[in-house]
A and B are shown apart, each in its own frame.
Chain A
Amino acid sequence: MRKLAIAVAFAVLVTLGALALDMLLHAASGTAVTLDKFIIKTIITFATVALVAAIVGYGKVPGAVSAVVAALAFYIHAVIALPTIAFGQAAAFAIALGVAYWLAFMRVMRLKKTEKLSFAVTVALATLALHWGWMLFIVTLAGNGAALSFGMAAVVLVILFVLAFLATLLKSWWPGIVAGAVLGALALSFGAAWLDAVVRFVTFSGMYLLAYVIRGEA
């Protein structure tokens, strides 16, 4: 049961990290990120990474297999259901997934002594993807266009990274909760709604705790 829980936590972090990198690529290249693609990529990537981690295990080869299978599955789905995707986008997603897997496995999960920089990058990427998904949801409900520009996403990523890195300096789980509360307070001070601030607090704290749970587990 514990093995399955670790695999699920690992898959959540890898999936969201890959999605964040992929969405940054999309935003940098000026292609639109839509809510339906976000949801489908999340489902397909999470299923692939969680199944491979729970049934086969972790490592360089399982990571490469996860990246190829998830990207291929997304490409097959996109070609048949949403014929708007180029092969290059699927290949870029495979590379993004490989990078996220490498960060979460080689730099967070495998090391007994947590590597602070990689830990902070993993938490920041996963939180950014959740924030982006939340904003896509809001924007889609309102019927407007893009959720985040590349510049804005980069600024958010830097803020998340700094908060996560500062939290890792105190070697426990609670600094993650405090950093999440600081993020929520920052959002409120910049004029965000209460619900937005709560979402920021919950997503950041949740991702920090997940990364804290899987560190040194492999």
Chain B
Amino acid sequence: MSKAAVWSVIVAFAAGIIGSILTFVEPRLLAAAGLDVLTASDRILIGVLLLIIAAVAVYKLLTLVWEYEVPKKPSKSRKR
């Protein structure tokens, strides 16, 4: 597994989990857990941005896997 793929997995998991918590968890639950920072609207925006980062990391991982499974065809050299 390449270094880029490992980083993609780490970023996708970390950003996805934190983004989901900030976006989807009820504000009162966050307050109970001591994570009641910023306003609800700001939290949701930051959460959505983290989810975008996670989605891009997954997309990068998919392109890496696709390149690994389907290697580029070698160019045909002309024999003279």
Contacts and interface: CB of A to CB of B under 8 A. Distances in A.
Interface stretch (A14-22, A45-53, A95-103, A185-193): A45-53
A77 interface: yes
Interface residues of B, number: 17
A81 B56 contact: no
Contacts of A43: 45, 49
A27 interface: no
Given A55-B60, A56-B59, A76-B23, A48 B52 contact: yes
A56 B44 contact: no
Interface in B45-74: 45, 48-49, 51-53, 55-57, 59-60, 63
A202 interface: no
A52 B45 contact: no
B41 interface: yes
Nearest to A54: B56
Contact size class for A? 10 to 19
A69 to B, nearest CB: 5
State the majority secondary structure of interface residues on A: helix
A40 interface: yes
A47 B55 CA distance: 12
A65 B59 contact: yes
B62 to A, nearest CB: 9
A44 interface: yes
Contact of B44 (A52, A69, A70, A80): A80
A47 B40 contact: no
Given A43-B49, A80-B23, A48 B56 contact: yes
Interface SS of B by simple majority: helix
A153 B9 CA distance: 45
B42 to A, nearest CB: 9
B48 A76 contact: yes
A76 B56 contact: no
A91 interface: no
Contacts of B24: 80
A73 interface: yes
A56 B69 CA distance: 17
Nearest to A65: B59
6 tightest A-B contacts by CB?
Answer: A51-B56, A81-B44, A77-B48, A69-B55, A73-B48, A81-B41
Interface of A: 40, 43-44, 47-48, 51-52, 55-56, 65, 69-70, 73, 76-77, 80-81
Interface of B: 23-24, 40-41, 44-45, 48-49, 51-53, 55-57, 59-60, 63
18 contacts: A47-B49, A47-B52, A51-B52, A51-B56, A52-B56, A55-B57, A69-B55, A70-B52, A73-B48, A73-B52, A76-B23, A76-B51, A77-B23, A77-B44, A80-B24, A80-B44, A81-B44, A81-B45
